[in-house]
Chains A and B, each alone.
Chain A
C-alpha cells in the first residue's frame, strides 16, 4: 500500500508530469519506501501493458484511401493552380539550385585540381636544369618541333612590339593527354603556356578570367578544339595580354 501522502503524486511521477524538484523528492522517497516503490513499479508495468494492448485497431487500406481522397481532393480542386504556379516551380528552383551548387562545387574542385597540376608543371619545369627541349625565340622553329610529338597543331603569336619573348617548348602531359608546354618570358618572369586537345574531361576546366592561385595567375580558354592555359607569377593583366595574343593567333 502506497503512503497516502504520496500515492496521488506517484501517478504524476510515472507520467513524467512533476516538476524537477517534485520528481527528485518522489525519487528520494521511493528509495526509502518499499510499498511506494512497489506501487510505482506496478503503475509503470500497467502503463506498458496498456500502451501495448491499446494499439489494437488497424484501419483498412481502402478506408485510408477514402479519407485521403476526402481531404486531398479539396486541395486538388482549389489548389491545383496554386501548386503548379507556386509550389512546383519553387520545388524545381530548390532542386535546380541544389544541382547547380553541386555542379559548381564539383567544377570548382575539378578546376582547382587542374590548375594545381598545371602550376606544379610550371614550377617543376622552371626548376629543371633543362626546362625546354627546343630552345628558340622563333615561333617558326618551335611550332614545327612539335610535329609528330603531339597529335595536334597550333599557331603561335607574333611577339614583335610586345614585351613577351618566346623561350622554347617541350612536350608535357595532363591527365594522360600529351600537349605542348611553351615558355615565354616577360621581364624577369617566366610564363608557361599549355596547349592540349579538348577532350571534354579534365582539361575542360576553365576560368573565363584569370584566377589567382597561391602567387600564380592562371587563365584558360578553349579555341578550335584546343584547350589553352597560361600560368605565371606575373599579374593578371600580363597573363591577360599574353592570352589575348595567343587567342588572336590561334
Chain B
C-alpha cells in the first residue's frame, strides 16, 4: 500500500525511521571510519529517505531500504569512492591466504583485535559482515541493501569471513601474546 498523504507519511516515517537511528549511525561510522562523516551520512540518509518516503511501499522491508540509502550515500561520498577502489585482485589476495577458523585463536582474540581486523577489511567485506552479524539481517535482507542476488550474498559473505580470519591470524601472530 502506498502512503498517499504527506502528513500521514511524515508521521509514519518518524515512527519507522527513528528506531533505526542507532543502528544506522553505527553502520555509518563503521563505513566512514570517522565520527563527523558518519553524522553527515546519517543526516543525509534521513533527509533523502524522508523525501523519497512517499514512494516507499509499505509492507516492503523498511530497514533494508534505509540501510540501502545509507550505503548508497556512503558509496557516492569521497571516502566511499576511495574505499571501493579496491581491485578484485586485492580482495582475492586477502581471501586466498585465509585459513580455517581457529577456535583457539578466536577464544583469545579480544574485541579490540576483532575491531581492528574489521576496520582493515575492504568495504564490500566489512559491510556484508556488519549487516549479517551486527544487524543480524537475513541473506534476503542483505541482498536488498546491497542490491545483489542472494547467491552473491552467500559467496561474498563466505569470502569476507575468510578474509577476516586471515587478518585476525595476522594480528594474532603480531601480538605480544601471540602464538
CA distance A66 to B14 in the complex (A): 13
Are B106 and A11 touching (Cβ within 8 A)? no
Give 7 closest A-B pairs by Cβ, nearest first: A42-B101, A54-B134, A57-B29, A53-B114, A79-B7, A50-B133, A75-B10
> Interface size for chain A: under 10, 10 to 19, 20 to 34, or 35 or more residues?
35 or more
CA distance A68 to B10 in the complex (A): 12
Are A56 and B29 touching (Cβ within 8 A)? yes
**Chain B residues closer than 8 Å to A79, beta-carbon distance:** 7-8, 10-11
Is A52 interfacial (CB-CB < 8 Å)? yes
> Interface size for chain B: under 10, 10 to 19, 20 to 34, or 35 or more residues?
35 or more
Q: Could you give, for residues 45-85 of chain A, a 1 whenever the CB lies within 8 Å of some chain B CB and a 0 otherwise?
A: 11101111111111110011011101110110011001100
Is A95 interfacial (CB-CB < 8 Å)? no
Which stretch (B87-95, B158-166, B171-179) binds chain A?
B158-166
Are B101 and A74 touching (Cβ within 8 A)? no
Given A59-B21, A70-B46, A45-B134 contact (CB < 8 Å): no
Is B43 interfacial (CB-CB < 8 Å)? yes
Is B75 interfacial (CB-CB < 8 Å)? no
**Chain B residues closer than 8 Å to A1, beta-carbon distance:** 100
Is A133 interfacial (CB-CB < 8 Å)? no
Are A11 and B46 touching (Cβ within 8 A)? no
Are B164 and A46 touching (Cβ within 8 A)? yes
Are A42 and B38 touching (Cβ within 8 A)? no
CA distance A70 to B39 in the complex (A): 13
**Chain B residues closer than 8 Å to A45, beta-carbon distance:** 101, 103, 106-107
- Further pairs besides A45-B103, A67-B21: 20, Cβ < 8 Å: A8-B158, A11-B158, A12-B139, A12-B154, A17-B154, A38-B103, A41-B101, A45-B101, A46-B161, A53-B115, A53-B118, A59-B22, A59-B25, A67-B18, A70-B43, A70-B50, A71-B18, A71-B50, A79-B7, A79-B8
- With both chains docked as a complex, state the minimum distance between the C-beta of B173 and any C-beta of chain A, in angstroms: 17
- Please provide the chain B residues from 51 to 65 with a CB less than 8 Å away from any CB of chain A in the complex: none
- With both chains docked as a complex, state the minimum distance between the C-beta of B36 and any C-beta of chain A, in angstroms: 10
CA distance A60 to B25 in the complex (A): 10
For the A-B complex, the count of residue pairs with Cβ-Cβ distances under 8 Å equals: 131
Is B3 interfacial (CB-CB < 8 Å)? no
Are A72 and B43 touching (Cβ within 8 A)? no
CA distance A60 to B157 in the complex (A): 31
A-B contact pairs, 24 of them (CB 8 A): A8-B158, A11-B154, A12-B139, A12-B154, A15-B139, A45-B106, A45-B107, A46-B106, A46-B161, A49-B106, A49-B109, A50-B134, A51-B134, A54-B26, A55-B134, A56-B29, A57-B29, A57-B35, A58-B22, A58-B25, A70-B46, A71-B13, A71-B14, A71-B18
CA distance A195 to B26 in the complex (A): 73
**Chain B residues closer than 8 Å to A64, beta-carbon distance:** 21
Are B101 and A43 touching (Cβ within 8 A)? yes
Nearest-CB residue, chain A, relative to B13: A71
Is A2 interfacial (CB-CB < 8 Å)? yes
Is B146 interfacial (CB-CB < 8 Å)? no
**Chain B residues closer than 8 Å to A57, beta-carbon distance:** 25-26, 29-30, 35, 38
Are B133 and A71 touching (Cβ within 8 A)? no
Is A39 interfacial (CB-CB < 8 Å)? yes
